[in-house]
A and B are shown apart, each in its own frame.
Chain A
Amino acid sequence: MFDLEAAIRGWKRGLTNSPVLEDGYREELEAHLRDKIADLVGQGIKPEDAFREAVAAMGGSEKIDSEFFKAHTTKRHGRPSWQPPWFMPALFWSYLKTAWRTIRRQRSYALVTIAGLSIGISLFLFFFRLYDWARSVDTFHHDVDRIHCVVQRFASANGGEDHLAFVPTLLPSALKDEIPEVEDTTHFYQPGRIIVASGEHSFFENHVLCVDPNFLSFFDFPLLAGDRKALFDKPNSVVLIRSLAEKYFGREQPLGKSLTLNNQLDVVVSGVVMDWSELPSASSITFSMLVSLEAAKGLFHLADNWTVHNQTAFIRTAENSDPAALSEKLDTFVKKHYPGGAETRSPRKIYFMPIRQIYYFAPQVRKYDSSNFMGYSIFLGMGTLFLFLVCMNYINLATARAIDRAREISLRKIVGANRKQLIRQFLCESVLISFFALPPSFLAYKLISTALIARLGVSWDCSLWSRTSSVLALGLVPLITGLLSGIYPAFVLSSFRPIQVLKSQAAKKSRRRIQKIMVISQFAFCSIFTVLGFVWLKQTRYIYRADLGYDRTDVLAIPLSEETNSKLVLLQERFKNNADVVAVSASNWLPGRWRTRMNVTPASQIENLGWTMYAYGVDYGFFDLLRMNIRRGRSFSRTFEKTDSFVVNAAAASLFGWQEPVGKSINVGDKNGRIIGIVDDFQFDNVHYPMGPAVFYQEKDNLSFILVRALLPESQGRLIEALRKSWSAIVPDIPFEYISLNDHFEEVYFSETKLASEVISGIGAVAIFLSCLGLLALASYSIRTRMKEISIRKVLGASSSGIFGMLGWDFLKYVLLSDFIALPIAYFVSRQILKSSYTVRTSVDAGILLLTAFLTFLAAVTAVAVQVQKAAVVNPADSLRHE
């Protein structure tokens, strides 16, 4: 039942605080209130509602105060001097001052907090920037959402489908002519490595694209020199990126200068574009040189046809058209241009995939280039987790120091601060501290980015100021970190009861439970990070030593070019004569990420569509050189081979399903021949993939590398010089370069895993360090509050070592508990990640978990030992007298 009189009494009590309400004023307002209520009730409104309405109309005492001020001032729009401006909370300056004093008074604590925060913030910002950069891939092209890559679907070896982003030369123009929704197209061909010569300098260049003349008007790579519309008007034109232009011409003006490609074709530089490391966002298409497709046709024997799928094609759809709705039109298109149907090696379907999607999110499509977005997300996730950890650390330190501030808080309360104001004050303080962490985090950002960018192998403009999102993050991250880490201490600190505090009984019990939870979860995080770091380290080593079916140590690869092909036998002979050389062979690519594929069909089964398999072109002696084990039959041999013959691996042999595969006849691409041997399974492609079926054929015309196995690793330097000498004696025009197979392997594959393990274990180490600081703070706090207890225990006969054990156990049990919680999680998570990303993978064993537990424990012991020791040896008389 609503009691009007009681409600009015309550309301009146609420007004008592206001100093302006002099004698009689409150009564007058009460009379007013009663009149209004009587009126409203007279209108048929319930007393309760009438009361509420009347009170609301009256406004609080603060409103009355400010109106009172207005009625008595000569300023017309004056803000009462005791009210803060609208943009600042009350007492803002006082809070700032107090915060600054607190920081100065507790320097070492502030230093720890600020250091932690700045590491956390900078790490987060870096991973955020990296994520943002990767996320915004290709956005510098206008209408990037309308650009799609053309993908064809083929039947594959295992009855599934292969998605290929490679099309025949004639397809793009046909698409543009026949499908009105396709507004424009462009396409390019990746020729692989070519020799580029300027005067007497010549180099191999890897990132060359042969492009349609409209390539640079279709895409918006920023042009530094040249006329965008007329770049490829003359067929023998090339466009270079800036760094390549500097490599060949130094500081001279590159436009109009000539270069020679593959010692055959003279071309003229018609433009210079920006390096990809300077682009405003990441680019999925990277190149160092663009050659007009017209000119490249002669160079690489390209022909206009519908049968060779080797071009990457992009289309721009017309505005407001839906590429997904084109599938019917594309089906008729396929029927028209590939009349053979599914039996021939024609695509079943064509579809368009948005360019931004195909780069990261289409692992099923084989394409011009790809990258894995997962890594960036995982890094961002780790950055976020670490930031949380740092927040927790702040919370721990702040609550541990709370007792020191109890008096200040009590005094504030006594002179009239309410809880809301105090909470605001402490939030202000934590935000301020996290903004203090901003300048050092710039420094840390600089360090982190220079250290990591070199390792990541990406070059990009990592400045925080060049993108709106990162500038925004720069303001928001410290703010949110401050609020997040400040909110709990603010509630704890503001809850002190002045009377108890001033009687010197700090509130103890409830708060410590939360602190324990904090310590436990902090250490749990650390353990998880550490386990992940160890697992990755182990995985890196494991892959490094894993048996991939061949031996890549002490093997040098020397790139060949077309001109050297005629002299290949001679070169190999000369190389073999060197005393430091064990074996010489050649191949058309290198193990690491070798993924050429061909269609393979057993010759007897005409109906069978066959399989798409790895197909590797190699020279004599390849298997011996890489120490691959021939299981049955023999390898290629100079004495026997008259016709085409093939070596298959065990996986392929079992796929054919023959009892005795050796001697059976198969078709590989357009070659027909017998299987002469079976080699053990191996992995030349990405180690993430399972070892697939593969076939080796003899390559004669298109070998790209001479492989040389050195006798001893120590003699390599001498060997290289000798090889260079024999090389330049035979083919003086061609640059001599070499790479060790091991380096190549590390470069193409290994670097990311290694990097991941380094980053994770680095974060783990910093996390453990910070958590130990948190534990240290907790220990010192807790021991101070228990000093009396310890002294009494000693008086009653407890020994120093007994107390040491008791206190130590008190803290360390939390660390143990956190290990109990974290290790199973870490075990599960790391196994899951390994499972999802590697086929050749190590196991997560008990050793790693135990080592992690031991390390965290050791770190924790070191952190608390000093504090506990101090407490254990204290003279009870001193502390009891002090108390």
Chain B
Amino acid sequence: MSTGPRRAERGLPGMIRLAWRSLWRQRRRTALLILVVAYATVSLLFFWGMTDGFLTSIYQSQARLLGAPVQIATTAYHADPDPVHALPELGPLKASARSLAAVAGVAARVDVPALLRSPYTSTGVQLRGVEPDAEARVSDVPGAIGEGRMVATTGELVLGEALAERLDVRVGERLAVDAASVAGPSALGLRVVGLVTSGVELVDETTALAHIDDARALAGIDTATSLALAVPVGREGAVARALQDGLPGGVRAYPVEEQMGELASGLATERVGTAVMGLVFSLFAAVAVTSSVVVSVMERTREFGVMLALGMSHRRLATMVTLEAVIASLLGYAVGVAIGYALLFWMAEVNVLGPFFTNLWGDLFTSLALRADIRTDVRLEYLAYAGGTVVLAALGAILTPARRVHTLVPADAMRAAD
């Protein structure tokens, strides 16, 4: 009559219950194991969230402050950014870009190398002619104007604050702008109407925005050197690919990574290096968890000897130890995921990393046009990264102690010191 319940007691559910009870008999040891796994999980989530957040910040800065999330330009201009390689008629290109739902804004630009002259000094810049209303949809620069206002009509100029300081020019004063146009030398006088104070050194030192019609006159072209497209973060590549089929020959859509040239390939290499570092980090975490379980098993040698002496088979004992490790690891993983994602969500909302990294790597920030605002990325794939590490740890925790339990002799085990 008691065969059913006894079989159930011997089956997996019974073993799980046994392992569960055994875990909570050793509360301190179990808590330690959960803590180690949780710590490893939180560390891995934070590591990847921070790494990806840092890279995302770089891409976003490049896209929203220097280039564009997606840029449409001729292949010739991409290879040699000279206004002579300007785009053909803009109407069909704009219509093609706007036909995609993911494209939130389209702005034509004319980038032309120019020399700015004040009464005191002169300096070379890459002058950007923009459509004033459309530019704010594709760039954060118009929103970073601290003094004055954005260019509204021809004859006006917006400068980065540091550039204006270098030229010793103030809002309301005029600069002479010289360029070598497609048709020959050209020059204009433009009045400064606003200063950009983005807090990004590279932007504040190099920004020079004019009305697109002035830039066209300086460059000697009728269209634009590029179209800048606003698309959601992370969709740049997909949008560029989707656009490509509708573009005429010799014209391409470039996601931000492709606009960055060597910097993008450098960052890709950096990502590979980071992945290797992450793998090493995962291995260390796995070893830490495994060693915690091994120590735990070694401390319980006498207890296991008693259990074997009372008739428990080696196999059931090994199963119980394994289940203990699995349950503790899963609990630790769950706790780690909860804490880790809470941390990532918080750091995605609050700029904790920006000031820290600015102090640490100020020069690097300057060269990458990074703002002092770095948020963590929150991605579901981190569950797999951390989960893989926990599985690795659990495997280590299962194999080594279980094999040890298999070889225990009850009499010797009971004599072992605690």
A and B bound?
no
Q: List chain B positions with a Cβ less than 8 A from chain A.
A: none
Q: List chain A positions with a Cβ less than 8 A from chain B.
A: none
